[in-house]
Amino acid sequence: MRLFFFPPPYPKTRSVNYNPYTDNFRNHLSEKCKVVNTKESSSAVLNLLKHLFRFDVVVFNWIENISKKPYKELQLFLFLICFVVIKIRKVRIVWIMHNIHPHDGENWVSRLIKKMMFKHASLIVAHSGEAQIFAGKLASGKVLFEHHPVNYRPKPLMVGRKKEIDVLIWGAIEPYKGILEFVRYIATNKIQWKVKIVGRCKDPDYDKQLQEAISHCRFVSFENRRIPEEELSQLVESSSFVVFPYLSSSVSSSGALMDTLMLRGNIIGPNKGAFKDLGIQELCFTFNTYDEICERVESNKKINYRKLEHFLRDNDWSLFVRKTLSQISNV
């Protein structure tokens, strides 16, 4: 099996939001089969064009996000040329469906690419039950549900450690995550929790709105920066709950959710997507309204850590890649 992985590794000098998902996936695939594009490239679509006759399987991640790239019409044109050749060559197409739709909304380019994926993908991999059901209604090929994988490693629970933070919110600060609305809710209801928000906010206007809302909250702090893994681990251990106050209907899977589970965090998230799947398994608490977040925090309950350990062990990257390659071989 000769496989093209989209996107390729980007140069370290390129200004993009780093997501370890693609590196983890590509590296584990490379241990099991021939990945033809392991070298860095600054353009994913040109990289696809370059390797167009060298693979018999293509794996697309976030391909619909071409719609948000510079020169999107040109990139779409080149992608369509590649896609026609891929179809003529009878290449098996695998689409990892990370989100039900892009977080910052659809446009005609994203809708066109998604329509092509639903019609022509031999295999669609969804990371939530809701995404599997959604894709199943539109897909011509097979739809597989697998949880977002993790790099499993055992971690002892810090039993009895004093919790210095009531609620921790971490990760990239973006409007679809509902953080501004949640802070305003805390201010309006005069909630006295100690809340710490840590994450990089690249939008100056959103940062300004968030800072203004926080000025009305006595016990809420915000640090606009990326957080190192070691510090994050310490913060999660010091927090009663890690809250993901997402409001967007686009939520399906979440790398930050899985990272927090790996740190054995006590999670509260929206009753949708991967959060909903994990809530059913007692691996996180879910909410439909912010009032329900209040109830969860005040209850001070803990997730089922025994079940969590089994879940993490059973959803390691190596197992995920093995299952995915097995499915590809059968389509």
pLDDT value at residue 286: 96
pLDDT value at residue 88: 98
For residue 107, count other CB atoms closer than 10 A to its CB.
13
Do residues 179 and 303 both lie within one domain? yes
Q: Hey, what are 139's tokens?
A: 């897909």
pLDDT value at residue 202: 93
Helix (H) or strand (E) holding 199: strand 195-199
pLDDT value at residue 17: 62
Counting the structural domains of the chain, the total is 2
pLDDT value at residue 33: 96
* 159 within domain boundaries: no
* 156 within domain boundaries: no
CA 230/CA 108 separation, integer angstroms: 42
Supply the range of the domain harboring residue 72.
Answer: 2-149+316-329
Do residues 186 and 129 both lie within one domain? no
The answer to whether 32 touches 26, Cβ cutoff 8 Å, is no
* 131 within domain boundaries: yes
What CATH number is given to the structural domain containing 191? 3.40.50.2000
> What contacts 171, CB < 8 A, 6 or more positions away?
177, 199, 256
Q: In this structure, are strands 165-170 and 142-145 parallel, antiparallel, or unpaired?
A: unpaired
Do residues 277 and 324 both lie within one domain? no
Do residues 306 and 196 both lie within one domain? yes
Q: Kindly list the averaged pLDDT for each block of 10 residues, start to end, along the chain of length 331.
A: 96 72 96 96 96 98 92 94 98 96 85 97 97 96 97 79 92 94 97 96 96 96 95 95 87 90 96 95 96 95 94 96 96 88
pLDDT value at residue 191: 95
pLDDT value at residue 221: 97
pLDDT value at residue 16: 59
Do residues 64 and 190 both lie within one domain? no
pLDDT value at residue 15: 57
């997402």: which residue's tokens?
246
pLDDT value at residue 201: 96
Do residues 182 and 96 both lie within one domain? no
Do residues 235 and 200 both lie within one domain? yes
pLDDT value at residue 134: 96
pLDDT value at residue 253: 87
Angle formed by the axes of helices 72-88 and 108-120, nearest 10°: 10
pLDDT value at residue 154: 87
Instruction: Of 168, 175, 315, 319, give the one whose Cα is nearest residue 253.
Output: 315
pTM of the prediction?
A: 0.92
What CATH number is given to the structural domain containing 79? 3.40.50
For residue 36, count other CB atoms closer than 10 A to its CB.
19
* 158 within domain boundaries: no
Do residues 185 and 287 both lie within one domain? yes
pLDDT value at residue 105: 80
Do residues 169 and 306 both lie within one domain? yes
* 171 within domain boundaries: yes
Do residues 111 and 209 both lie within one domain? no
Do residues 112 and 195 both lie within one domain? no
* 298 within domain boundaries: yes
Sheet of strand 34-35: strand arrangement = 34-35, 2-6, 57-61, 92-97, 123-126, 142-145
| 48-69 burial code (b ≥16 CB/10 A, e <16) | bebbbeebebbbbbbbbbbbee
Rounded to a whole number, what is the distance in angstroms from the first to the last CA of the chain?
A: 13
CA 237/CA 264 separation, integer angstroms: 8
> What are the C-alpha distances in Å from 149 to residues 69, 270, 275?
27, 20, 14
Do residues 209 and 234 both lie within one domain? yes
pLDDT value at residue 156: 78
The answer to whether 30 touches 38, Cβ cutoff 8 Å, is yes
